[in-house]
Chains A and B, each alone.
Chain A
């Protein structure tokens, strides 16, 4: 792999005019080569051996991705039941930015070559991302501006893409008292690629971020998505994850509550079948007093699927009056399905309220019996119970319009 990755790296930046920035990237490449793809030997990859998954599913991974070639946008993919702004990525290249509903002085998207020198030392995949991301896109929301319509980021890949590694890096800056909604949708017609996405959110005072990640089209790609969220005083972040379509998907959320009265919410649904293997890992760091976090993760697992939830609440010794809550529940529908959880609390302050719960099992036979005695057949009863189980998470979404769209996409509306 080592030779391949170096030649791919050289090809990638053959015609680029980056000088100093290239040196930076080379360092990250070196770091990645040293570590390689994470395997289960690492605690954070204990339940999902990415190295093995990549070797098993992708024969020969290509790191080179032609960044100059343009692709035609398939407009039929656009969601038409909601007014929105667009960012369209095709095969890792940003093809279109449309902020048609916004004041262009208040929200700006810029393309930069300078990569963010992030501080996640142990994350080989971020090193890889830094090395191969040609551009770093910056979305800057000015102080006091509420972005009117959500930005939908279309992550699409077409059939031309195969066995390729794609890296995307976005940086969001939310100024004081601003707000932003971001929806990520994934439309993959491609097969067997490794897609590596890194988002960084910087939330200033009193800002509000809502991020929805909807992975619901069946595809055979392997994906890793990392969200880093830094929060200042009184800011709110809300993340919703629908983990459903990809062959393998790991969503990682690292949230630093740095300002007093800031709060973070993570709600997620795993709805898996057919050998899907998905994971969510969260790290909520309560660093100052009076911060709050809430996490609700629910899984419905069918046909040899596997879901993993690793959630950690860290409470610093200065973070008195922390309120942290974490709940993960799973329904196993099939004998071959598997649920693994590692809900972790690391607490150094005494005046805190922290708890976590985790439960897994099959559908409640008594409930099914009750429904059947009311005239439903077994299948209807089962579906109704699952629907109720999952709606609980969706009801946590605070934006009604988006909530309805998600219900609609999941077939849970009505």
Chain B
């Protein structure tokens, strides 16, 4: 396999890592108004992701930097082209991140509530807009001969991309709610499971429509198979949650998100940013990539670092594997 092909799939894996991990953080954040009846509940919810949200978010930094290094043209075209959408994502991520750290710094309920609002909005906006962004990448956008995006912000809000955004929003929401049911104990666990049963149905309908649309309009035989795996995993996750097997359901949601991202990347390949106006202006793994030398250096780094990173991140999840509930919050001196 050529190195630029390898890096195309490594970038895919990094975005899978980001969407699977920060995806449930977004879901937990969005679930605050649905599952958090009082401040203690909301603290239980936030503490389910407390030790890990930062490392989960770091996946997008690593994915972005790797995109820059491996496919500079793709990075430059996508980030300048989606300027306002990425601005909204950045503002949302800032608001969400500081809120986790700041909301517990003062006891007043009004203080906490304003940061809760920032967490909800700061989780929902990226959950929606990452889908919109990737939907547009797959669909193709107008590019000039220098690969610069020549459409407007509103061109990005087309039906296919909006459906992609709605799909990620719902997938992350259900993923997060199932994570809550797998990570908490007591009443909140029961409520989370019940909510995931409801939201799961809507998610299945929306995600299935999106996967069908992707396969028919932009897909290949291979991407169709990947889409089918994603759909089956989503339905299986739903059934497992229905059966009360929350951790299995959570694992299957991760599989769903992983295969959904693979579907998008397989539909793209070997393009990375197809031009909708003129095929000659499309960015591909050939004309967008770095030199073989740079990719080789990066490959060695990734090869050596990957087992270490996966090792200590996995260990972290194992350290914080216990369920938490209201008693933990009430017992902790503040």
The judgment on whether A and B are partners is no
